[in-house]
Amino acid sequence: MSVPTPREAVTSTTTFKDDIFRGKVLFCTGGSSGICKGMTQSIMKHGADAFILGRKQDKGEAAAKELTEATGRKCVFASVDVRKPETLKAAAKKCIEVYGKIDFVICGAAGNFLAPISGLSENAFRTVIEIDTLGTYNTIKATLPYIRESRGSYIHVSATLHYRGTPYQAHVSAAKAGVDALSNVVAVEEGPRGVRSNVIAPGPIQGTEGMDRLTPQAMKDVITKQVPLQRQGTIDDIANMSVFLFSDAANWVNGQIIAVDGAHLHTSVQPLPYPESVLDPASAVKAIKPRL
């Protein structure tokens, strides 16, 4: 039986009007690279200005310049450590000084690596929790006064790892489960004030660190075959969902966790050989070490 040719991903500009976000301001942690950078670019293409945050000054400034040139909108970068509330509060105030408002927030700062619980130090576990979960909380706290004023919206970038037991991913699974829970509470507590909060949980996305650095080459083809739509996702696929969720078309979508994964969750098996990878971690390390 022949497999149909996978449908190519499309960008948001083929579906949504160019100016749906004109006059809006996006505040995005993790916006200088990867999925969050792609989300930011799409939202800017529809008229928004952006304030992106990351840790590396040179990389962030280069990303802001690139986003400005690609979209014709204004993008400003600020260096922050999302684990430190004071840096986020200062960044939010700076965003207000530059733009006068914040309408949309993407909580996307994240950290990840592969390690079984038996080889995962307490400090390493804590670090991922601090970046992903505490970083999301700190971002919410820093921006909430402004989002209340604008009756704005949050998108939290999560993952699908914790919807099942995923070996070598205890730290990020726990962290992203916390992100999901935070979003749900924000949706309930802040909904009466007109604030929406939703989660995007990406599946296997090509061109990201998770696929390029943390996934053995031999497993990439296996993962692709497990996706019912027969392709890995693209950053544009995630960006398209972010445009929808921030748009007025989604003004009654609140407190949702949306997996954008081509239905991979329904057919996937463990990403590393099971149970060999948990009974003999050394064998798994040989497969993934070149990419660590």
Q: Could you check whether the bond before residue 4 is cis, i.e. omega within 30 degrees of 0?
A: no
Report, as residue numbers or ranges, the catalytic residues.
158, 176
Cα first-last separation, the chain: 38
- The Cα 12–Cα 121 span in angstroms is 41
**Closest to 205 measured CA to CA, from 229, 238, 172:** 238
- For residue 129, count other CB atoms closer than 10 A to its CB: 18
- For residue 192, count other CB atoms closer than 10 A to its CB: 7
Contact 179, 112 (CB under 8 A): no
- The Cα 259–Cα 267 span in angstroms is 14
